[in-house]
A and B are shown apart, each in its own frame.
Chain A
Amino acid sequence: MSQVNGATGRPAILVEGLTKSFGEVHALRGIDLSVPRGTVLGVLGPNGAGKTTAVRILTTLLRPDGGRAEVEGYDVVRDAAAVRRTIGLAGQSAAIQEELTGRENLEIIGRLYHLSWPRARGRATELLEQFGLSDAADRAAKNYSGGMQRRLDLAASLVGQPRVLFLDEPTTGLDPRSRLGMWDIIRSLAAGGTTLLLTTQYLDEADEIVVIDHGLVIAAGTAEELKGRVGGDVVEFTVPDRHRLADAVAAIAKIATGEGEADGQPHADPETGVIYLGVGGRGSDALIEAVRSLDGAGR
């Protein structure tokens, strides 16, 4: 995340200490993100980790409780209208009008962006071609395959020529071939200067990946780095006495730093009292070491 392209040097997406709760459920508990222009950030995490909440805040659909978020320098709360002119969104399901043809779907979106009819028509034709939907352009979208509907949905999110594109689980539910096709499209968009943030449940080939769990960023890096780290074993410790959480983290940190770069630093969840430690490929050894270390730290 160090190199920054683009004129101003500002990242396309900047998130600092973002929090959001739904009643007792703390969906986001202070996440930070920084996405350079023209790159692809994958947000990885299990269901309920807070990925979709983050996307909804960044796309102005939801107001954060705390922290701040900027897209192309515009604050998502104060400059929501400017953010909306900058972004495109493709959600988890295909947000298309099934009764309309693929072409009509795109033309209507174009008209909603205040394109003239000829421009809207031209843009639709362009996108249909780009997404391999030209042959199906004049068929009702309900007769499209799942992969085609997702492509049409993605095309719809691009009608307004967004500089930043948010994709919520774009490859979920696609067969392997459609998934590769989706990645080709994502790659070519990034090559064209679009910044992409996508959520995923797979360790996909994004430039940079952050792993979110329980509303916190618990790891970040390239897919290769993460495979070395969290791709191996993760040891979880539950600390019953929350006051001793910091001591326990310190004790576990000793074994984490002792054994080379593959290991992550321990990460504590203060609410549940659980400490997570990525231990690469040496799960059982690390577990024994950690228990010894904790024992040494006194109970």
Chain B
Amino acid sequence: MRVPAYLVFTVIQPVMFVLLFRYVFGGAIHVAGNYVDFLMPGIIAQTAAFATFGTAIALAQELKKGVIDRLRSMPMARSAVLAGRLVADTGRMLVTILIIVGVGYAVGFRFTNGVVPAIAMVVLATVFGLAICCISAYTGLAIGDEESVQAFGLIWLFPLTFLSSAFVPIATMPGWLQAFANNQPVTYVIDTMRALALGGPVVPSLWKSLVWLAGIFVVFLPLAVRAYRRAG
């Protein structure tokens, strides 16, 4: 929180997206119900995913500056540094998510399915963000160069979040793209978030989301820990 600019920028980008899709593109995108209600769960998931850029970049910087070397040469649990970073970054991510929910409310978004599902939606978005955070932590430590990390983040995070149900109904995409968009974790997470926020069947997409998220944790948490142990 010592870097106000950091929070400002991680918030400004999704706010611009909210406004852009709500008022510029939204009119041309046809969904059942209000587009702003369709949009917000997608934007929130994307916000969570993009917030992990910060994790990757910070780890790459600390690696380069020798901060990680120093911590690894100290008598402390090697898992503590990585765990601390993941917890802190996820906390920050949650703050950003809540701000974006507030912005959504200002432009007409409403939770229409009750308080508990609304809270569950925020929790799911945060757990999703934490899973993506593990991937980003791994890329940050494995690549180790700030600019490359940033470029690489764009390469996988942009397609993953845009080629999903986040902004448009998947049925409007060409068939080959639908095949990808329909079967990737971001779509499952967003569909679940939408069902939690607006009502509708939660379970089918929820269990697929949880399997995917568990898979991401199982693969990327150990990879990140290993990359940390061997850092530099």
Interface residues of A, Cβ cutoff 8 Å to B: 56, 59-61, 81, 84-85, 87-97, 99-100, 109, 112-113, 140, 156-157, 160
Contact = CB atoms under 8 A, between A and B. Distances in A.
Contacts of B64: 93
Given A59-B73, A87-B73, A160-B74, A95 B3 contact: no
A84 B74 contact: yes
B70 A95 contact: yes
B2 A112 contact: no
Given A99-B2, A99-B3, A91 B69 contact: yes
Contacts of A156: 70
Nearest to A98: B65
A92 B66 contact: yes
Interface in B199-221: none
B116 interface: no
Contacts of A113: 74-75
A91 B75 contact: no
Given A94-B65, A100-B2, A157 B70 contact: yes
Contact of B66 (A81, A87, A91, A140): A91
A89 B72 CA distance: 10
A93 B70 CA distance: 11
Contact of A89 (B65, B69, B75): B69
B185 to A, nearest CB: 33
A157 B66 CA distance: 12
Contacts, number: 52
Chain B, interface size category, equals 10 to 19
A112 B66 contact: no
Interface in B168-220: none
Nearest to A81: B75
Contacts of B72: 60-61
Contacts of B232: 56, 61
Given A61-B232, A99-B2, A100-B2, A84 B66 contact: no
Contacts of A87: 73
Contact of A60 (B2, B65, B67, B73): B73
A88 B232 CA distance: 18
Nearest to A97: B67
Nearest to A112: B76
A84 B73 contact: yes
B71 interface: yes
Nearest to B230: A62
A89 B66 CA distance: 10
Interface string B52-78: 000000000000111101111111100
14 contacts: A61-B73, A84-B73, A84-B74, A84-B75, A89-B73, A91-B70, A92-B66, A94-B65, A95-B65, A96-B65, A96-B67, A113-B74, A113-B75, A157-B70
Interface in B1-31: 2-3
Contacts of A160: 74-75
Given A95-B66, A95-B69, 16 more contacts: A59-B73, A60-B73, A81-B75, A84-B73, A88-B73, A92-B66, A93-B64, A94-B66, A95-B65, A96-B65, A96-B67, A97-B67, A99-B2, A109-B74, A112-B71, A140-B2
